[in-house]
Amino acid sequence: MNRRSCLLVFVPMLLVTRLGHAGSSEEKERAARMACLSGDSAKGVAILTELFIDTKDSTYIFNQARCFEQGLRYAEAIARFQEYLRVAKKASKSEKADAEKHIVDCEGLLAKQQALAVATPPPAPAPVLTRQPAAPVPVVAASPPVVQQVNPQPAGSSGSGLRTAGVITVAVGGVALVAGVVLNLKVNSMASDLQKTDGYTSNKESDRKTYETLGWVSYGVGAACVATGAVLYYLGQRPGSAGSSSVALVPAFAPGQAGAILKGAF
């Protein structure tokens, strides 16, 4: 009688404990899903890491990668998908193929981010203004006015500024041209893949067109910057160019095109 009584008491407690763990996992999964969809990738990945440690289920690693992907953190998403392929020994072929497809998509989106970062130069830092203490006004006796001759600023200093601006502009143009070459190589590679059997998809074709547009934009910006930099450097070497030259670089954009217009008086 005593053994049966203990068994009857123990079984309900075991069921309640298991139900409690299941409910806790569901609550954590819901919290991780809400964090990822709201853009808080760090919180979502932290919750999924805790679930993986508790269950050793590789699906949570896949969900970590998806959380990074939704947060536009493509480099970290690629690393998590690769970790899933390494750990998920019992995953089916379709599950592994899905992870590999996400890796390809993230690599393409990461390349777009890097291309845009290269094509867009960083903004110039704001000048730091320091407040100087007011100097005391000296009291002096009246004296006849004295005419002082003010020497004009040497032309060489402004010419040096033009030459420096020209070198920087040419460097930016070179970076844009390199980005255009890289994007063009990517477009050619994707075009070859699309010609293969079962290689064409609407997503790949859309990505190929996007890379092609970015490549032409990079070529246009690079060529405009190189030409403008050469003109600025030439003006900086001309004698007397400091006070008689007014130059401005105006960006120009059109559908499928990008460049710059050099305006000024010499």
**In the prediction, which pLDDT does 85 show?**
93
**Coil, strand, or helix at residue 205?**
helix
Residue 254: pLDDT over 70: no
Residues linked to residue 258 through DSSP beta bridges, in sequence order: 253
pLDDT above 90 covers what percent of the chain?
A: 28
User: Is the CB of residue 116 less than 8 Å from the CB of residue 182?
Assistant: no
Residue 51: pLDDT over 70: yes
User: Is the CB of residue 36 less than 8 Å from the CB of residue 80?
Assistant: no
* Mean pLDDT to the nearest integer, 176-202: 78
**In the prediction, which pLDDT does 6 show?**
37
Residue 35: pLDDT over 70: yes
DSSP secondary structure letter of residue 136: P
**End-to-end alpha carbon distance in the chain:** 110
Place of tokens 């004009």: 152
Report d(CA 246, CA 262) in Å as an integer. 10
User: Is the CB of residue 210 less than 8 Å from the CB of residue 107?
Assistant: no
pLDDT digits (tens, 9 = 90+) for 104-123: 999 999 999 899 888 876 67
How many CB atoms within 10 Å of residue 65? 25
Question: Phi, psi (5° rounding) for residue 236?
Answer: -70, -20
Residue 225: pLDDT over 90: no
3-state secondary structure 100-166: HHHHHHHHHHHHHHHHHHHHCCCCCCCCCCCCCCCCCCCCCCCCCCCCCCCCCCCHHHHHHHHHHHH
Comparison of pLDDT for 6 and 135, the residue scoring more = 135
Supply the pTM of this predicted model: 0.39
Residue 236: pLDDT over 50: yes
Nearest partner of 114 among 189, 175, 205, 174, judged by Cα: 175
Residue 253: pLDDT over 60: no
* Mean pLDDT to the nearest integer, 167-195: 82
* Token pair in block for residue 59: 């699906």
Report d(CA 250, CA 146) in Å as an integer. 46
222: pLDDT confidence band, cut at 50, 70 and 90? Answer: confident
